[in-house]
Each structure stands twice: as structure tokens, then as C-alpha cells.
Structure 1
Amino acid sequence: MASSSSLLAARAVRPLALITGARRGIGAGIAAELARQGFDLALLDIAEDGADQVLAAAEAHGARAGFWQYDLADSGAHRALVERIVVACGPIACLVNNAGVSADARGDLLELGERSYDKVIDINMRGTFFFTQAVARHMAEHTHPAQHARTIVTVSSVSAELASTERGEYCMSKAGLGMLTKLFALRLAPLNIGVFEIRPGIIRTPMTEAVAARHDERIADGVVPMRRWGVPADVAAAVAALASGQMQFATGSVLNIDGALSVPRL
């Protein structure tokens, strides 16, 4: 199902960024920042709640913005959705893979069940891979009319590297996104399409609200050397820097947005 603003009336003049998981938290922050930096937006999420506010914030920065309600796990429909977005909005200059889910519950790795494992892998890894493939095919076949830089940025997590036995399925899904970045960086480098991975640390979002008290204690104890929560704007600033094309020769790189959480210490 699709609903949109004036975006549907005319093709975008500004470069188009397609953002998954865009209606709240980090995704909403990325949408606002890319709109401020001169992008038009195609926003995707599994639910509509909150999408109107994100669209309004983008349009306040002069962007044309449209929203599509979509389940990333429905990989068989990816190519058709990308085609619909391109028809409505024009060629895609930037893909931001931000959609993802956490484990159903934290628990003993020896008790991890297939239901939570399958859900997390289907969305975070399988869905993201095949959606990236669909967008990459579009990018390989088309160039942006303004010759704007073309980029793919995947928002994963420090959990791609830092293991948590209480969330095994989540960690494995995020580690897989690290390899996804390397593979697409190699495949798309001859086309000058930059592919990057961003690994946020402890970011204050609706997803982390349930464990906020625990993170408050850990941050106070120094697990994050900068001794503060990250916020969506921290991640959004990094995405915008990569989407601008100024770091294209760094394709395949990982950027940690975590206040030095992931730096090894003695």
C-alpha cells in the first residue's frame, strides 16, 4: 500500500534517498537529516504509525517525501516495489538499510528457539540482502540525471562485532550485514557506487526504551567511554556524510557510531 505527498505529482529534482525502517527512531532521524541535506525521500516501514510526522518533518526541509507501508521480509515483492518507487519518484541515488528487529526476548543461548531466530534473520539479514539486491540492480541499470553520487548505507550494530549470548540471533544477523557490505562494495565498485556499513552503539530510541535503566547503569559505569547515550542525530549525521559521496573511495568501510564503546581496552 502506498500513500504520498506532492512527490507523486512530479519526478524528484533532488537526489532520491530510499530509507527502510523510516517512521521512528534512527530511521526518522536519518530521514530528517537527508531532507535537510537536499534529498527527496521514499520512506518504507512495516507500520504507518508515526509516518505522517516524518513526512511533515521532511517536507519542512523542502523535500518531496512519500511513504510505503511494506514488510521487508516479503522478499518476493522487492523488485516490484522498487519499480513502483522509481516510477513515482525517479531514480534512486541512495539506499539506507535501516529496518531491523531485535530478539523476541533476551535469554540463554542454549534455549534460543527457532521462531525468534527465523523472524530476526528473515528481516535483518534475508530481507535486507534481497532488498539491497533489487535496488542495486536498479542502480546498475540507471544513472541519476544530475550525476549525483550513488551510495548504499546499511545501519547494523556494534553487535556485528561484540557478542551477546542473550541475543544470539540478533548478533548473527548484524554480523551478516558486515559481509553484505563487503560483497556489494566489491560488486558495485566498478560502477562507482559506494557501499558502507554504520554500526551504532547504545542509541536512545523506542527499541532501547525497555532496557533503558540497564543501559543507564552501564553507561554510568563507563561501558561507553563518552559516558552518554547516542541519539538518532548521531547516526543520521554519519549517514548524510556517506550519502553525500565525499567518501566514495572508502567504499566497503565500517563506521562505528558508539562513543568508543567498541574500542578494545585493557
Structure 2
Amino acid sequence: MMGTAAATDVATSARPVALVTGARRGIGRAIACELARRGYDVAFTDLEDDEYTNVTARSIEAHGARVLFVRSNLGDVASHAGLVERVVEWGGSVDCLVNNAGIGSPVRGDLLNVALGGFDEVLGVNLKGTFFLTQAVARHMIAASSAHPRSIVTVSSVSATMASPERAEYCLSKSALPMLTKLFALRLAQAGIGVFEVRPGIIRTPMTAGVAQKYEARFAKGLVPMQRWGETDDVAQAVAQLAGGALQFATGSVLHVDGGLSIAAF
């Protein structure tokens, strides 16, 4: 785990601090930038430190926010305490955690051929990693006071409830996140910490670029009632609204950002 430049050593403002995982590009970048626009200083993580990281950092700073990048593997549970410590050292607190980082199935194919290694890898990041980082941040939030609303928002997927047999590991990992949200919502309710799930549908990102033609053909046949791609800003707006504290009495809730994809209809 390694911090980069684009960070000062000690918090110098009264702005709330958000930690967004997997924010080097795509949905995570959009969330980090929207939170910065709404007044947060932003720490973000990713597996890689490259030009995409620099673009994200500059975009956050363009909104007047302080920024910290920490290179981090969500699946490395032993590193979580150090990550939280680094962010708190830099920002003074963690007022909002956005669990965005995740990986897809290594291979799309017959679930009868799912390999043990791939299964363990996907659940190790998407479920185990998310659970234990949430636990680490929740412990900090319980122990520390803050003048700002506090929230934990987990970005899951329509795959939490909609089955894709060719992506079995991914679907299984996402199906547990609604329960994670409920459990932490109950545990943190008395502390006034709102815990939410945002469930995106088919979003235009680098992760979906390889299957874009497939999805566009299905859009034309009515797969998504709104008949368009979801954009990263659609998800970012939803996350930021939940993070800001206006909806904290709705703790434990799920917000679908899928253009009507998951609505059961006939």
C-alpha cells in the first residue's frame, strides 16, 4: 500500500472527508468528483497508480478539494487498518466511506466450469474485502466524533438479485452486499451513521466496453425500459445524495440506478 503526492500531511479545512475505493476511473472517479463538488475532501484508492490516477486527482482538486491517493488492494484485509490510519492522519476523520471497488468474473462462461481460484478471488475482493474495510471504518466512526453527517454507501449491482449464469462468482459476491448493508445499518443506527446500498444497472464504463455491442443490441429490444446506457454520473449523483445526510433516517435502504431494468414486469 503506497500513498502518492497530491496530498498534504495534515487536514487544514473543516470539510468532511470521504474515502472512495476503486476510484481511479469509471464509476469511482465520478463518485469522487461529485463528492468533491459537494464539499468533501477525498481520499481514494485503486490497485494501480498511473495516468488515470493523476487525472482523477486533478479532477478532484478542480472542485477545490484536497485529495489523497493510496494504492491499495481491497482483497488484502491485513492492509485495511493501515489504509484507514493513513486517511485519518491526512484528513482528520472518515465521514463517508464509499465501497465502490470490485472485480468481475475472470472468465465469462458455463457456471459448471467455474474454477476455485477465480471464485475465491472474486469473493475475496467483492465480499470479504468490502466487509472488513467497512468494519475497519465503522470502528473508527464509532470511536471518533465528527461535526459532519456520517455515512457508508456500498455500490453493488443489479446482479445482487438478477442472475447471470455466465458470471456466477460475480453474482454470488454481489448478492451478499444487501445483507452487509442491513447488518451495518442496524449496528450503526444508534450512532447516527447512515448505511445504504446503491445498485447500478448497465453502466457505460471501461469494464463494460468489451460487451458494449451486445448490450446495445439488447437495449433496442427493450432490455432497459429507459432505452439507454446508465452513465457514471447517474451513479455518482445517487451516492452523493445518500452520503450527505439528508436521507439518514432511511438507513438500510437500497437505491436502484438501472433505468428500470430490475423492475419485474410482464
Deviation sequence 1:105-154 (CA, Å, 0-9, x none): 1111111111111110000000010000000000000121xx21100000
CA distance in 1, matches of 2:227, 2:101: 27
Displacement of 1:194 after TM fit?
0.2
The match for 2:57 is 55
The match for 2:154 is 154
Deviation sequence 1:175-197 (CA, Å, 0-9, x none): 11111000000000000000000
Calculate the TM-score normalised by the size of structure 1: 0.97
- Equivalent residues in 2 for 1:188-227 (5 A)? 188-227=188-227
Task: Give the partner amino acid of 2:144.
Answer: H
SS at match of 1:207: coil
Contact kept in structure 2, 1:29 and 1:232, CA below 8 Å: yes
CA distance in 2, matches of 1:243, 1:5: 24
The match for 1:163 is 163
The match for 1:125 is 127
Contact kept in structure 2, 1:4 and 1:65, CA below 8 Å: no
CA distance in 2, matches of 1:163, 1:10: 44
- Equivalent residues in 2 for 1:79-98 (5 A)? 79-98=81-100
The match for 1:240 is 240
Contact kept in structure 2, 1:8 and 1:66, CA below 8 Å: no
CA distance in 2, matches of 1:10, 1:192: 24
Contact kept in structure 2, 1:97 and 1:154, CA below 8 Å: yes
Contact kept in structure 2, 1:12 and 1:90, CA below 8 Å: no
The match for 1:36 is 37
- The reply to whether residue 255 of structure 1 matches residue 239 of structure 2 is no
Displacement of 1:12 after TM fit?
4.1
SS at match of 1:162: coil
Q: Percent identity?
A: 56
Displacement of 1:43 after TM fit?
0.6
Task: Give the partner amino acid of 1:45.
Answer: D
The match for 2:77 is 75
Count of matched residue positions in the alignment of Structure 1 and Structure 2: 264
Contact kept in structure 2, 1:35 and 1:58, CA below 8 Å: yes
CA distance in 1, matches of 2:180, 2:29: 23
The match for 2:23 is 22
How well do the aligned residues superpose, as a CA RMSD in angstroms?
0.9
In structure 2, stretches of 5+ residues that fail to align are: none
Q: 4+ residue runs of structure 1 moved beyond 3 angstroms?
A: 9-12
The match for 2:177 is 177
SS at match of 1:56: helix
Contact kept in structure 2, 1:117 and 1:169, CA below 8 Å: yes
CA distance in 2, matches of 1:68, 1:186: 30
